[in-house]
Chains A and B, each alone.
Chain A
Amino acid sequence: MTRFSRFLSMGVAVLLGASATADEFGDPRAGAKVYSQCKGCHQVGAGATHRIGPHLNDLFGRAAAGMEDFKYSKSFQRAGASGLEWHAETLNAFLENPRSYASGTRMSFRGLKDETDRRNVIAYLRDFSDDPANIPEADPTATPTNHDIDPAILALQGDPEYGEYLSSECTTCHQASGGDDGIPSIVYWPEEDFVLAMHAYKNKQRQHPVMQMMAGRLSNEEIAALAAYFKNLDN
C-alpha cells in the first residue's frame, strides 16, 4: 500500500508538472500520524467541514483563502489575492513555520520542523485532493473531538452582549485582532468547538493551568455567551 501510494504520488507529481520533485512526496501512512497534530482544527476526508480551520479536502491547486464559506485572516486573503496557491512547495514552506510564511495567520501552530514529517503529511493531504468524488474515508478525520458534553450544554444559546463583557477577561492575553504569538487566537471559532474546548479546560481534561482556572469558574451559560460573541467578532 505504501509503495503503491508513493508510486501514485510520484506519478501525480510528474503529471501535474509540479515544481516539487518526486522525492519531495513522502509516505501518506506516516503522514496520517503527523496529521493528528492538525486534526484538532482541520478536518479532511468524506464529510469534512470547516471547523476552527478550513477543511483540507481538495487542497492542492486551491488558491490561498480560496473558499468563500470560511472566514480567513486578512493575511491569507491578501496572499490569495496576490496569487498564492497550495502545492507541495508552498505547503512545505508554510508548514515549516506558519507565522513566518503568513505573519497574520490565525493558525496557532508552531510548524513542523522535521522535513520528513512535512513531506509525509503533504503526501497524506495529497490523497484527499485527487478526484473529490473519490476521497477516501480516513480515520480519524471528520470525527469531532470530545463529545462527552451533555447535548443540553451544547444546545445553549449564548447572549453575545454578556459574552462581550466576559470576553474582556480573555483579551488581556488573547488578542481580539486574532494575532497569535505564544498565546493562541480564539476568534471566529465555531461555537461548538469553543464550547467543547472550554468545558475540556473546566473539567481539567485539557492541561493548562491558566485556562483551567479561567474556565473553571465560568458557568455553562457564560461559556455559551463567550462562544456566541467570539464566533462573530470582527475587527
Chain B
Amino acid sequence: MTLNRRMFLGATAVASAALAAPMVLADGHGKPRVVVIGGGAGGATAARYIAKDSKGAVDVTLIEPTRTYYTCFFSNLYLGGFKQMSDLGHSYGGLAASGVNVVHDWAVGVDRDTKTVTLAGGAQIKYDKLILSPGIDFVDMSVPGWDITTQNAMPHAYKAGSQTELLKAQLMAMPEGGVFAMVAPPNPYRCPPGPYERISMVANYLKNNNPTAKIIVADPKPKFSKMALFQEGWANHYEGMVDWIGEDFGGGNVSVDASAMTVTIDGEETKVDVCNVIPAMKAGRIADIAGVTDGNWAPVNAANMSTNVDPDVYVLGDASQQGDMPKSGFSANSQAKVCANAVRGALTGSKVFPAKFSNTCWSLIAADDGVKVGATYEATPDKIAKVDGFISQTGESADVRKATYQESEGWYSGITADMLG
C-alpha cells in the first residue's frame, strides 16, 4: 500500500494548492497527487470533493483550458430566449479557493508508465491517480459532408460557448418563413433529451419572432428520450412547425452540403437557412491519447469509475462507457462523487462507501412547461445498472409543469455550486 511510503516521505516541500504553473516533481513528493483533466460536471466535482474532503492531505490539480466554463446544460434555454449567455458562464475561482490547483492549459499527453501528464505549454505533471473527464468529441464524417472545418457554416452547438452563440445568431438572422434543419445524433450521445429540448427552444424563438418558419429534424433513431412528452408539447405549443423525420422515414440517410446550405434526407434535397448538425460522438481526445478507450468510449468499472486497463486512471461522465446511465452533467457529477470517495480512500485510507448513482434530466418545452426524467443506479460487477426511475406524464397540469421548470432552475444553482464551490 502506498500510504505508508507517502507518510514516511512526509513533509517534502511541495507548495500545495498554489495557483502558479505546475512544477516538474521528482518521484518522492510529499503528498499523494491527483490530476484531473477536464473542468466540467465530472472533473470539477471530483477535484472539489477530493480537495474538500481530504482537507489538504491530497494535492489536487485540475487541468482545464478555458477560464470561463459555460454549462452545456441550460444552453438550449439561451437559444429559446430564457437565459442569457452570462447566466451560463462560471469561473474556476471557487475551486481554487477550495484548494484545487487550477491550471489553464491543454493536456496533450499521458504516459501511464511514468504516471505523467504533459501540457501543451510543455510542463509535465506527475500523478498517483489520474481522473479523465474530457467530455465528447465528434466522429469524423458520421454525417457525410460535415466535418469540424464546416462547423461555422453548420454549427453543432453541442459544446456550450461560441458555438451556441453562433447558432443563436444564425437563428436570429433567418429570413421570414425560413427553414431550420437539425441533424440529430445516433445513440449513445451527450444529453439524450438535448436535441429535442433544442427543437422546442428554437420553435419557441421562431413562434415569437418568425412564426411562419419551419423546423425539420433528420433523426437516425426510431424514437428518442421523452418522445411522447416532446411530441405532445410540439403539438400544443408549436402546431405544424416541427417536422420530425425518424429512422422509419429515412431520417438516418442524410448528408449535408455546407457551401450550398442543403440537406439531403433519403434522397430528397432541401435548401435550408440554418443547419444544426449534431454528429455521432466519442470520448474526448485525451482518453484516446491515454490509451484507455475501446472503440469510441472508455470502459470503466462501476464500483469506482476506474478504467479496465489501468487501476490508477479513472474516466468520468460522457467519455466513459459505464452501463445504464445516460451521458449527462448530472450523471457525471454523480459518478465524480463515487470516484472521489474511492480515490481519497485509496490515497489516504479514508473510509470508502458503496457506490450509489443517480440522474435527473429536466427539459423545457415552452415557457413554464418543464418535464423531467430520472433514475437511480447501482454498481454491479458488469456495469452501472438501473435500479428505479420515473418520468413526467403527458397531460400534466400547468402548475406541475411550472413547478418542474422552477425545480430545474433550483437544480442548476445546486449543481453548479456542487461542482465549482
Contacts of B356 in A (CB 8 A): 166, 169, 217
Q: B388 touches which one: A161, A175, A181, A213 (CB < 8 A)?
A: A213
Q: Does A173 contact B410, Cβ atoms closer than 8 Å?
A: yes
Q: A166-B356, A213-B374, A214-B376 are in contact. Are A172 and B415 (CB under 8 A)?
A: yes
Q: Does A28 contact B (CB under 8 A)?
A: no
Stretch at the interface among B3-11, B163-171, B401-409: B401-409
A118 to B308, CA, bound (A): 61
Q: Is the CB of B334 within 8 A of A172?
A: yes
Interface residues as binary, B65-109 with A (CB distance below 8 Å gives 1, 0 otherwise) = 000000000000000000000000000000000000000000000
A173 and B334 within 8 A (CB)? no
Interface size on A, residues (CB 8 A): 26
Cross-chain contact B390 with A173 (CB below 8 angstroms): no
Name the CB-closest residue of A to B352: A165
A179 within 8 A of B: yes
Chain B residues bordering chain A, tally (CB within 8 A): 31
B390: contacting residue among A172, A176, A179, A209, CB under 8 A: A209
Decide yes or no whether B389 CB sits under 8 A from chain A.
Answer: yes
Which residue of chain A has the shortest Cβ distance to B375 in the bound complex? Answer: A213
A94 within 8 Å of B by Cβ? no
Does B49 reach chain A (CB closer than 8 Å)? yes
Could you say which residues of chain B place their CB within 8 Å of the CB of A210?
Answer: 360, 372, 374, 390, 407
A172, B333: Cβ atoms closer than 8 Å: yes
B49 touches A172 (CB 8 A): no
In whole Å, how far is B410's beta carbon from the nearest beta carbon of chain A? 3
Question: Could you tell me the distance between the alpha carbons of A168 and B341 in the complex, rounded to whole angstroms?
Answer: 10
Q: Give the residues in chain A near B418, CB-CB below 8 Å.
A: 168, 171-172, 175-176
Q: How far is the CA of A27 from the CA of B374 in the complex (A)?
A: 44
Cβ of B330 under 8 Å from chain A: yes
B contact residues around A217 at 8 Å (CB): 356, 376, 387-388
Which residues of chain B are near A168, meaning CB under 8 Å?
Answer: 49, 337, 418
Q: Across the interface, do B341 and A182 meet the contact criterion of CB distance under 8 Å?
A: no
A75 / chain B contacts, CB cutoff of 8 Å: none
Q: Which of B330, B360, B413 sits near A181, CB closer than 8 Å? A: B413
Please encode chain B, from 372 to 395, with 1 for each CB lying within 8 Å of some chain A CB and 0 for all others.
101110000000000111100000
CB contacts (< 8 Å) of B389 on chain A: these are 213
Interface contact B411-A173, CB-CB below 8 Å: yes
CB of A155 closer than 8 Å to a CB of B: no
Say which residue of B374, B375, B414 sits within 8 Å of A171 (CB atoms): B414
Check if B410 sits within 8 Å of A182, measured CB to CB. Answer: yes
A182 touches B353 (CB 8 A): no
Q: Is B417 an interface residue (CB 8 A)?
A: yes
The prevalent SS among residues of B at the interface is helix
Provided the pairs A169-B334, A172-B333, A213-B389 are in contact, do residues A177 and B409 lie with their beta carbons within 8 angstroms? no
A204 and B388 CA atoms in complex are apart in Å by: 14
Please state if B417 and A213 are interface contacts (CB–CB under 8 Å): no
Tell me how far the C-beta of B24 lies from the nearest C-beta in chain A, rounded to whole angstroms.
33
Which residue from chain B places its CB closest to the CB of A225 in the assembled complex? B353
Q: A42 to B418, alpha carbons, bound, how many Å?
A: 29
Contact B407 A179 (CB under 8 A): no
CB proximity to B under 8 Å, residues A206-220: 209-210, 212-214, 216-217
> For residue A175, which residues in chain B have a CB less than 8 angstroms away from its CB?
413-414, 417-418
**Across the interface, which residues of B come within 8 angstroms of A214, CB to CB?**
358, 376
Question: Would you list which residues of chain A between 172 and 220 have a CB under 8 Å from chain B?
Answer: 172-177, 179-183, 209-210, 212-214, 216-217
Residues of B contacting A213 in the complex (Cβ-Cβ under 8 angstroms) = 358, 374-376, 388-390
- Is A72 on the interface with B (CB-CB < 8 A)? no
- Compute how far the CA of A194 lies from the CA of B134 in the bound complex, rounded to whole angstroms: 37
Our pick among A169, A174, A182 for the contact of B358 (Cβ within 8 Å) is A169
- For window 150-168 of A, CB contacts with B under 8 Å fall at 161-162, 164-166, 168
Nearest CB in chain A: distance from B360 CB, A: 6
Task: Kindly report which residue of chain A lies nearest to residue B356, judged by CB atoms.
Answer: A169
Within 356-376 of B, Cβ neighbours of A (below 8 Å) are at 356, 358, 360, 372, 374-376
Nearest-neighbour CB distance to chain A for B99, whole angstroms, equals: 16
Q: How far is the CB of A205 from chain B (nearest CB, A)?
A: 16
Residue in chain A with minimal CB distance to B350: A161
Pairwise interchain contact A176-B413, C-beta atoms closer than 8 A:
no
What's the nearest-Cβ distance from chain A to residue B417, in Å?
5
Partner of B408, one of A161, A162, A176, A182: A182
> CA of A169 to CA of B387 in the docked complex: distance in angstroms?
15
Min distance, Cβ A119 to any Cβ of chain B, angstroms: 25
CB distance from A181 to the nearest CB of B (A): 5
What's the Cα separation between A181 and B403 when bound, in Å?
11
Instruction: Pick the contact of A173: B53, B341, B376, B414 (CB < 8 A).
Output: B414
Within 8 A of A (CB), among B47-61: 49, 53
B49 (CB) vs chain A CBs: closest residue: A168
CA distance A216 to B358 in the complex (A): 12
Q: Point out the residue from A164, A172, A182, A216 that lies within 8 Å of B406, measured CB to CB.
A: A182
CB distance from B375 to the nearest CB of A (A): 7
Within 8 A of A (CB), among B315-369: 330, 333-334, 337, 341, 351, 353, 356, 358, 360
Instruction: Show 22 residue pairs from A and B whose CB-CB distance is below 8 angstroms, ordered by the A residue.
Output: A162-B353, A168-B49, A169-B334, A169-B356, A172-B330, A172-B333, A172-B414, A173-B411, A175-B418, A181-B409, A181-B410, A182-B406, A182-B410, A209-B390, A210-B360, A210-B390, A210-B407, A213-B358, A213-B375, A214-B376, A216-B376, A217-B387
Kindly list 6 other residue pairs between chains A and B, CB separation below 8 angstroms, not including A172-B411, A173-B410, A173-B411: A168-B49, A171-B417, A173-B360, A182-B413, A210-B360, A217-B388
Closest 7 CB pairs of A and B: A182-B410, A183-B410, A182-B406, A209-B390, A168-B337, A173-B414, A165-B353
